[in-house]
Chains A and B, each alone.
Chain A
Amino acid sequence: MSGLPNDDLSKIRSKFVVFCLMCGIDLCTPLKRGLLLLCGATVLLVVLMPVWSHPVPSSEHAEGIARIFQRGTLIVAMYREDNSPYFMHDGQGRFTGWDVDMARDIAARLGVEVFFDRRARTYNEVVDLVARGEADVGISQLSRTLQRATRVLFTQPYLTLKVGMLINRIQLEKLRAGPHLSLMETFNSPQCVVAIRTGTVHEEFAHALLPKALKRDFPDWSTSAVQAVIDGEVTVGLTDETGLKEFIMARPETAIHVTTALVDYFTDEIAMIVPLNSPALRDWLNIYIDEYVPDLNADLLLERYPPPKARE
């Protein structure tokens, strides 16, 4: 055991020899020494591999994860329009938001780049993209519903939101008939008109919460539906908790005409989606959520990502 070029290597070697002797491995014959050296080298190679290479897809990796590693990029499907505080452009024009930052973090932990596919014109189109396998994951303030769960796999929720209601005060007074009805019962009558956007999850919520109310369709929330509530054309507009709170902060002058409510007992679970053939990716994301995503609620989100216009 002489003539070695490296001091460190000799230290390792001597420790290795001592270790073998302690384990009772006999090093006197050259064959045994050679075999031991081969084992050691293989072990070293395997251990040090991740340090110098990209993750190399192998048959060990399930389809979804393998695809990502092969491509070297995580394709995240996301709704086309900005939606504060999940994905938006801040005052400096930077693309930010909870979903955006989380997607970037996931990609970093996987050791790949991230690409945001924002072709989807509706939230259901985000689900379509993922279902067809054109995106690896959908992270877009997606509500977990049974209907969607037949087409994609949902992770556990990373955020729980309450359902928010924007209510026209005068219309509410008109509805208040007898004194023995709770507020929800008052809304759940054919005289109550609810603004919804067909094809969104809030349409489902409206049917679940207020089955007897009259539903009217509006092309979008932020302009036409909101204005309808303010003007009294409809009694109630349903939206999510963050949207409601942002509305209160952005349009304080409307508080004279509208009041706001949160339905405490009806939850909207926000989760990520992956294609049906990527259960391993789904499990990976679940572990990620367990370990790296804190307890979230609407207020925390809005504090960390204030709406861009609120800065003026």
Chain B
Amino acid sequence: MTSLADRFKWLKNPWVILAGLGLGVAMGLLLPDLSATLAPGGTLYLSLLKMCVIPIMITAVVTSIGRLLMRSGSGALLRRTLAVMVLFMFIASAAGMLCAVVFQPGANMSEQAQAVIGRFLTSSGSTNTTVAQADIIITRNAELDTHPNVIVDFLMEMVPTNVFQSLSHGSSLQILFFSIVLGMAVGLLPHQAKARFLDDCDVVFQAFVKVIQALMYLLPFGLALLISNQMLALGADLLLAMGWYVLSVYAGCLSLFLAGTAAIAMRSGSSFWRAIKVLEQPLIIALSSRNSFAAMPSAINAMTEGYRFDSTTTNLIIPLGVTMFRFGGLLAFAVSGIFFAQLYGLHLGLTEYLLVLFTSVFAGVASAGAPTLVTASLLSIILDPLGLPSEAGVVLYIAINPMVAPVLALLSTHGQCTVTALVAPLDPAD
């Protein structure tokens, strides 16, 4: 077996991975038909990665919480984790807001750009292409103009009624909640046998990590197929019109990435470049699959194997963070809030900035575990207090999301690694 692993070790070389990326881009642009035919291959690879995510999440959270509760001093550790997480949420929001203020994406938008956005807003969702349609049809028994109560909805959403249903639907927030409860319950049991149970869970965890490691050999190919299929024609003119918005998001992500890498490098005692290199796999998965969830197993692996951070802590922080504290989405919300305020000419004073800061963090938490299409409507949490219309905002947010989703997933994954580096102790051994 070792000779086989050695023989294919070159597939894990970062240059090979980048080559796969490049091949994917080239194929997508030059051979779109071939890319479309081969697309199922990329989807299959992604499915294989995703297949491991839920088992890893459950076993990671249960074992880590269970073991942490068996250890002393873990209360402090947990408190520190939550504190750092929340702090990072605010930092991410502030970074997004700062970039939006610097680049002014919504201010001074050319009339042409406004026309592009306007045409997009009026045509989205309508079937008639020759004659424009109105946005709203008011009927006699018109529905009540209700504003949902987000806090209540979020709490209701978090607690599952049927665990197996949550598992089969893949509702990650509910699975997380359940795993935390189970882990805590097991950790507080008086029996000695609980250690054995936790060890068994750990075995399952290690098994799936092994599967992930094996899948990494296929990363260049899977990557090529995934990327090639994603060279979709996002309306080029809409992209141009929203160019500054996209730039603000990218700038925010980049700045946080650099700061986070510096923190990881300091904590792990490695150089800046090595700090990036060790994380290349989870970062590339996050970028190409636009999904920090899919990158989670690889991230855990990198932090524990690559940096030698304590696995128990890592196994808790990363699943928790990836599900509940999504820095990427949060940054996008913050930028969007400032963007729309600028677009509608709303004066941004201290009150408004604080409002955006807090509401975006809240919306970021409330979007736990849900895909973008669902979380887009949470934009109203940020826009309503400012008195800005949310219907147009949500539509635009969904439309421009494909362009920013990869870096947002990257930020989420990288952010979790940063938090882990700041909270988890390094393994004393070796």
Check B131 against A169 for contact (C-beta < 8 Å).
no
Check A255 against B119 for contact (C-beta < 8 Å).
yes
Check A302 against B121 for contact (C-beta < 8 Å).
no
Check A263 against B119 for contact (C-beta < 8 Å).
no
Report chain B residues within 8 Å CB of A259.
135-136, 389, 391-392
* A-facing residues in B109-155 (Cβ within 8 Å): 111-112, 114-119, 121-122, 128, 130-140, 142-147
Report chain B residues within 8 Å CB of A249.
131-132
Partner of A169, one of B111, B119, B389: B389
Q: Tell me whether B247 is interfacial, beta carbon within 8 Å.
A: no
Interface flags for A259-288 (1: CB within 8 Å of B; 0: not) read 111111100000000000000000000000
Report chain A residues within 8 Å CB of B392.
169, 255-256, 259
Partner of B139, one of A248, A253, A264, A298: A264
Q: Tell me whether A223 is interfacial, beta carbon within 8 Å.
A: no
**Cα-based distance from A263 to B111 in the complex (angstroms):** 30
Report chain B residues within 8 Å CB of A302.
130-131
Q: Tell me whether A222 is interfacial, beta carbon within 8 Å.
A: no
Q: Tell me whether B343 is interfacial, beta carbon within 8 Å.
A: yes
Partner of A263, one of B130, B131, B138: B138
Check A183 against B119 for contact (C-beta < 8 Å).
no
Q: Tell me whether A207 is interfacial, beta carbon within 8 Å.
A: no
**Cα-based distance from A249 to B384 in the complex (angstroms):** 28
Partner of B387, one of A165, A170, A254, A257: A170
Report A105 CB to chain B, min CB distance, Å.
24
Known contacts being A179-B144, A179-B145, A259-B392, is A164 close to B137, with CB within 8 Å? no
Report chain B residues within 8 Å CB of A179.
144-147
Report chain A residues within 8 Å CB of B111.
253
Check B387 against A174 for contact (C-beta < 8 Å).
yes
Partner of A256, one of B114, B135, B140: B114
Known contacts being A169-B392, A262-B134, is A252 close to B119, with CB within 8 Å? yes
Report A171 CB to chain B, min CB distance, Å.
10
**Cα-based distance from A306 to B131 in the complex (angstroms):** 9
Known contacts being A256-B117, A259-B135, is A182 close to B143, with CB within 8 Å? yes
Report B388 CB to chain A, min CB distance, Å.
7
Q: Tell me whether B344 is interfacial, beta carbon within 8 Å.
A: yes
Report A151 CB to chain B, min CB distance, Å.
31
Interface flags for B321-351 (1: CB within 8 Å of A; 0: not) read 0000000000000000000000110000000
Report B98 CB to chain A, min CB distance, Å.
24
Report chain B residues within 8 Å CB of A172.
389
Interface flags for B370-413 (1: CB within 8 Å of A; 0: not) read 00000000000000100111011000000000000000000000
Give the nearest-CB partner of B115 in chain A. Answer: A253
**Cα-based distance from A186 to B143 in the complex (angstroms):** 12
Report B109 CB to chain A, min CB distance, Å.
8
**Cα-based distance from A171 to B11 in the complex (angstroms):** 59
**Cα-based distance from A265 to B138 in the complex (angstroms):** 8
Report chain A residues within 8 Å CB of B114.
253, 256
Check A248 against B122 for contact (C-beta < 8 Å).
yes
Check A182 against B144 for contact (C-beta < 8 Å).
yes
Q: Tell me whether A244 is interfacial, beta carbon within 8 Å.
A: yes
Q: Tell me whether A303 is interfacial, beta carbon within 8 Å.
A: yes
Report B328 CB to chain A, min CB distance, Å.
26
Give the nearest-CB partner of A180 in chain B. Answer: B144
Report chain B residues within 8 Å CB of A303.
130-131
Report chain B residues within 8 Å CB of A261.
134-138
Check B389 against A262 for contact (C-beta < 8 Å).
no
**Cα-based distance from A252 to B117 in the complex (angstroms):** 8
Check A184 against B138 for contact (C-beta < 8 Å).
yes
Q: Tell me whether A176 is interfacial, beta carbon within 8 Å.
A: yes
Known contacts being A169-B392, A179-B144, is A255 close to B121, with CB within 8 Å? yes
Number of B residues near A (Cβ < 8 Å) is: 36
Interface flags for B184-202 (1: CB within 8 Å of A; 0: not) read 0000000000000000000
Known contacts being A182-B145, A245-B132, A253-B111, is A262 close to B137, with CB within 8 Å? yes
Report A80 CB to chain B, min CB distance, Å.
27
**Cα-based distance from A261 to B137 in the complex (angstroms):** 6
Q: Tell me whether A217 is interfacial, beta carbon within 8 Å.
A: no
**Cα-based distance from A252 to B121 in the complex (angstroms):** 9
Report chain A residues within 8 Å CB of B139.
264-265
* B-facing residues in A169-202 (Cβ within 8 Å): 169-170, 172-174, 176, 179-184, 186
**Cα-based distance from A254 to B118 in the complex (angstroms):** 6
Report chain B residues within 8 Å CB of A262.
134, 136-138
Check A245 against B389 for contact (C-beta < 8 Å).
no
Tell which of B112, B128, B138 has the most Cβ of chain A within 10 Å: B138
Report A265 CB to chain B, min CB distance, Å.
4
Report chain A residues within 8 Å CB of B138.
165, 183-184, 261-265
Report chain B residues within 8 Å CB of A290.
none
Check A252 against B387 for contact (C-beta < 8 Å).
no
**Cα-based distance from A248 to B136 in the complex (angstroms):** 13
Tell which of A173, A255, A298, A306 has the most Cβ of chain B within 10 Å: A255
Check A245 against B137 for contact (C-beta < 8 Å).
no
**Cα-based distance from A256 to B115 in the complex (angstroms):** 9
Check A265 against B140 for contact (C-beta < 8 Å).
yes
Report chain A residues within 8 Å CB of B391.
169, 259
Report chain A residues within 8 Å CB of B344.
169-170, 256-257
Report chain A residues within 8 Å CB of B384.
173
Check B137 against A264 for contact (C-beta < 8 Å).
yes
Report chain A residues within 8 Å CB of B112.
253
Check B389 against A260 for contact (C-beta < 8 Å).
no
Report chain A residues within 8 Å CB of B128.
299
Give the nearest-CB partner of B123 in chain A. Answer: A252
Check A181 against B144 for contact (C-beta < 8 Å).
yes
Partner of A260, one of B136, B143, B387: B136
**Cα-based distance from A165 to B142 in the complex (angstroms):** 15
Report A210 CB to chain B, min CB distance, Å.
11
Report B113 CB to chain A, min CB distance, Å.
8
Tell which of A164, A252, A261, A298 has the most Cβ of chain B within 10 Å: A252
Check A182 against B119 for contact (C-beta < 8 Å).
no
Interface flags for A231-252 (1: CB within 8 Å of B; 0: not) read 0000000000000110011011
Check B137 against A256 for contact (C-beta < 8 Å).
no
Would you mind naming 8 contact pairs between A and B with Cβ atoms under 8 Å apart?
A: A183-B136, A183-B138, A252-B116, A253-B118, A255-B392, A259-B135, A265-B140, A303-B131
Residues of B within 8 A of A (CB): 111-112, 114-119, 121-122, 128, 130-140, 142-147, 343-344, 384, 387-389, 391-392
Given contacts A179-B145, A264-B137, A302-B130, 8 further A-B contacts (CB under 8 A): A164-B134, A179-B146, A180-B144, A183-B136, A186-B145, A248-B134, A299-B131, A302-B131
